[in-house]
Chains A and B, each alone.
Chain A
Amino acid sequence: MTGSEIERRRIMIVMGVFAALALITPFLDLFLQSLVTEILVFGILAMSLDILLGFTGLASLGHAAYFGVASYASAIIMTKQSWTVTYAIFTWTDSSGLGLFYLFIIGVLVAVAFAVLFGFLAIRAKDVYFLMITLSLAMVVWGLAYRWSAVTEGDNGIIVPGRPSLFGISLEEGLPFFYFTLAVFLLCLGVIYLITRSPFGRTLVGIREREERMEMLGYNIWLHKYLAFIIAGTFSGVAGVMWTLYNLFVSPPDVELITSAEALFMVALGGPATLIGPVIGAAIIRSLQQLASIYVERWPLILGSIYIITIMLSRLYGVDGILGIANKLRSSSAAADNSEG
């Protein structure tokens, strides 16, 4: 089987899984419907981080910042009546069924603006310094969310009364909102997949593998990393707007370190540079969190344990994440089949 055939088969499998999900979800109870929707929202966040961590090899510990600012921005423009201009535009677009577009445009633009600024400050740093800088910059956002209470309501967070409709179709019910989320998710998956298969996407992998060589081959690696950072921030922003729409509530913990760390775990757990792996990671981590929510204070401990187990298994098999381990098991059993036959 050639490489492109394997690739085509993988695409078919992924499309089949999501088609099945679309068919099954109406029969799930409300709790599970909501969980699936939440997983898709965090799946977008995890895929966006995969562009940085998996494809470019940049471990950002502040990826929730772009998610957070987009989340806050969309919540603010829906609720802040004293900001007459943004609120007037919202009510006007909402009344014509275009409110969602307005939210996404503003939310994602704000995320992009932050990524443009923060990326510029962070991208020259390497390894642990990059980790520290992205973390500190995200703390700035957290500080804003927490302290700038005139706009963000500080500790209380912002409660959003409801979701705008899409061309007059109400998304207030769980099921229509699930389908909307699935559509946004698939759009993001498709676009990010296309980017990773593009010439530009390949340069990111080259940078991950060996920066000095890429420079010597004529690449301005600073520019490539910076663009990757902005693209990742953009999709993180999409996830942030989706989070506001899903949760109808935004508060400082959404932009905290734990959210950034969770996103990193999702990628590492599922398998970096696979896009689908991080989504699987998101599914595992968000499901466990729902189950563990009764023991909220133990959550970081559980998260940490999962992470350590994945790392150890990955070391053992010499591969990355769950998808990597699965592939390894499959190929070794295939090899066993061949030797038997």
Chain B
Amino acid sequence: MAETETALELKSVTKQFGGLMAVNDVTLRLGQGERRGILGPNGAGKTTLFHLITGVLPLTSGEVLMYGQDVSDWKTHRRVAMGMARTFQITSLFPRLSVMDNVILAVQGLRKMKMVMWRPLSSFPEVFEKTEQLLTQAGFWELKDTEVRNLSHGEQRQLEIVLALASDPKVLLLDEPSAGLATGESREMADFLKSLDPNISILIIEHDLDVIFEVASHISVLHYGELLTDGPADQIRNDPRVQEIYLGKG
């Protein structure tokens, strides 16, 4: 099989908090359209790794490349403009705004019209069309006028992903999308993730093993900030080291 294009590449990425090596020398490649899971116990450095990829935190050392372009020194919004999107482990929506307004802010994010000051938002039908399409697709149309803080936890987790999809990302980073969901809801989430456009490259952090093995074809395992191992999902599932430290069985 021909080598696919590389969407995202991490070269010896390192983050030090004082004496703590939260992410230590992590090298990783995400091919175009690849679905890669990231496993690791609490505090392994998974979320920190996402902060580094998105530029929320500066690197201590190493490089982050998107489509071959070194973006290590780029601000978050520039990386987003290049096609990166991300969801948060702890739901990060606009709780006092309606579902519709949340999605509108997401849809505007990469459009030049976001700087327009002299025309009302209502005079940009293309934004509303895109918003309607996203809301309908995700089954949120009926809830469009509900304030987000009044949604159920499960609905909020889902909206979290809708916001990330609004920019039509090429590289999607999902931080525990099923956090706090009931088993049935996790299943739905897994199905939803599998139904996404296959061209989107995805890195997914997940503690729910059913979800991660369902969605990801490859898995990287982080342990104390270091990349313990990575490979095809089946191989990781059967790796004794992984079973020992993460799955907690011998």
* Known contacts A206-B97, A206-B105, A217-B163, then 9 further A-B pairs from the complex at CB < 8 Å, ordered by chain A residue: A194-B118, A197-B121, A199-B121, A201-B117, A209-B94, A217-B80, A217-B109, A219-B109, A220-B77
Contacts of A199 in B (CB 8 A): 108, 113-117, 119, 121, 124, 127
Q: Identify B56's interface contact among A3, A212, A218, CB under 8 A.
A: A212
Segment of B8-16, B85-93, B192-200, B235-243 engaged in the interface with chain A: B85-93
What is the chain A residue whose CB lies nearest that of B86?
A216
A-B contact count (CB 8 A): 95
Q: How far is the CB of A292 from chain B (nearest CB, A)?
A: 36
Query: Count of chain B residues with Cβ under 8 Å from any Cβ of A?
Result: 39
Q: How far is the CB of B24 from chain A (nearest CB, A)?
A: 25
Task: Tell me if B117 and A200 are in contact (CB < 8 A).
Answer: yes
Supposing A198-B121, A215-B76, A217-B106 touch, asked if A203 and B96 sit within 8 A by C-beta, the answer is no
Report the bound CA distance from A212 to B105 in whole Å.
13
Report the bound CA distance from A231 to B121 in whole Å.
19
Task: Tell me if B92 and A202 are in contact (CB < 8 A).
Answer: no
What is the chain A residue whose CB lies nearest that of B163?
A217
Task: Tell me if A218 and B80 are in contact (CB < 8 A).
Answer: yes
Supposing A199-B108, A218-B80 touch, asked if A209 and B95 sit within 8 A by C-beta, the answer is yes
Supposing A194-B120, A209-B97, A220-B77 touch, asked if A203 and B92 sit within 8 A by C-beta, the answer is no
Report the bound CA distance from A25 to B118 in whole Å.
32
Report the bound CA distance from A32 to B134 in whole Å.
55
Report the bound CA distance from A322 to B81 in whole Å.
41
16 contacts between A and B (CB under 8 A): A194-B117, A194-B118, A197-B120, A198-B118, A199-B127, A202-B101, A203-B114, A205-B94, A206-B94, A209-B95, A214-B105, A215-B77, A216-B86, A217-B163, A218-B110, A218-B167
What is the chain B residue whose CB lies nearest that of A193?
B120
Q: Does B75 contact A (CB under 8 A)?
A: yes
Task: Tell me if A216 and B85 are in contact (CB < 8 A).
Answer: yes
Chain B window 117-134, contacts with chain A (Cβ cutoff 8 Å), 1 for yes, 0 for no: 111111010010000000
Contacts of A203 in B (CB 8 A): 105, 108, 114
B residues in contact (CB < 8 Å) with A: 54, 56, 75-77, 80-81, 85-86, 88, 92-97, 101, 104-106, 108-110, 113-122, 124, 127, 145, 163, 166-167
Contacts of B118 in A (CB 8 A): 194-195, 198
B-facing residues in A162-210 (Cβ within 8 Å): 194-195, 197-203, 205-206, 209-210
Contacts of A209 in B (CB 8 A): 94-97
Task: Tell me if A218 and B92 are in contact (CB < 8 A).
Answer: no
Report the bound CA distance from A3 to B86 in whole Å.
31
Q: How far is the CB of B140 from chain A (nearest CB, A)?
A: 17
Interface centre among A200, A205, A216, A231 (most CB of B within 10 A): A216
Q: Identify B81's interface contact among A213, A218, A231, CB under 8 A.
A: A218
Contacts of A217 in B (CB 8 A): 80, 105-106, 108-109, 163, 166-167
Task: Tell me if B104 and A202 are in contact (CB < 8 A).
Answer: yes
Contacts of A205 in B (CB 8 A): 94, 97
Query: Count of chain A residues with Cβ under 8 Å from any Cβ of B?
Result: 26
Report the bound CA distance from A41 to B70 in whole Å.
52
Q: How far is the CB of B101 from chain A (nearest CB, A)?
A: 7
The majority secondary structure among interface residues of chain A is: helix
Task: Tell me if B108 and A202 are in contact (CB < 8 A).
Answer: yes
Task: Tell me if A210 and B117 are in contact (CB < 8 A).
Answer: no
Q: Which 7 A-B pairs have the closest CB atoms?
A: A217-B109, A218-B109, A218-B80, A209-B94, A197-B120, A200-B117, A206-B105
Contacts of B109 in A (CB 8 A): 214, 217-219
Report the bound CA distance from A194 to B122 in whole Å.
12
Contacts of A214 in B (CB 8 A): 105, 109
Q: Identify B94's interface contact among A194, A213, A216, A218, CB under 8 A.
A: A213
Task: Tell me if B119 and A198 are in contact (CB < 8 A).
Answer: yes
B-facing residues in A207-238 (Cβ within 8 Å): 209-210, 212-221, 231
What is the chain A residue whose CB lies nearest that of B85?
A216
Report the bound CA distance from A203 to B85 in whole Å.
18
Contacts of A200 in B (CB 8 A): 114-117
Q: How far is the CB of B148 from chain A (nearest CB, A)?
A: 10
Q: How far is the CB of B215 from chain A (nearest CB, A)?
A: 21
Contacts of B108 in A (CB 8 A): 199, 202-203, 217
Q: How far is the CB of A323 from chain B (nearest CB, A)?
A: 16
Report the bound CA distance from A215 to B121 in whole Å.
20
Contacts of A212 in B (CB 8 A): 56, 88, 92
Report the bound CA distance from A221 to B76 in whole Å.
10
Task: Tell me if B92 and A215 are in contact (CB < 8 A).
Answer: no
Report the bound CA distance from A104 to B56 in whole Å.
42
Report the bound CA distance from A4 to B120 in whole Å.
12
Report the bound CA distance from A214 to B114 in whole Å.
12
Report the bound CA distance from A213 to B163 in whole Å.
10
What is the chain A residue whose CB lies nearest that of B124?
A199
Interface centre among B95, B96, B117, B167 (most CB of A within 10 A): B117
Task: Tell me if B124 and A210 are in contact (CB < 8 A).
Answer: no
What is the chain B residue whose CB lies nearest that of A217?
B109
Q: How far is the CB of A42 from chain B (nearest CB, A)?
A: 24
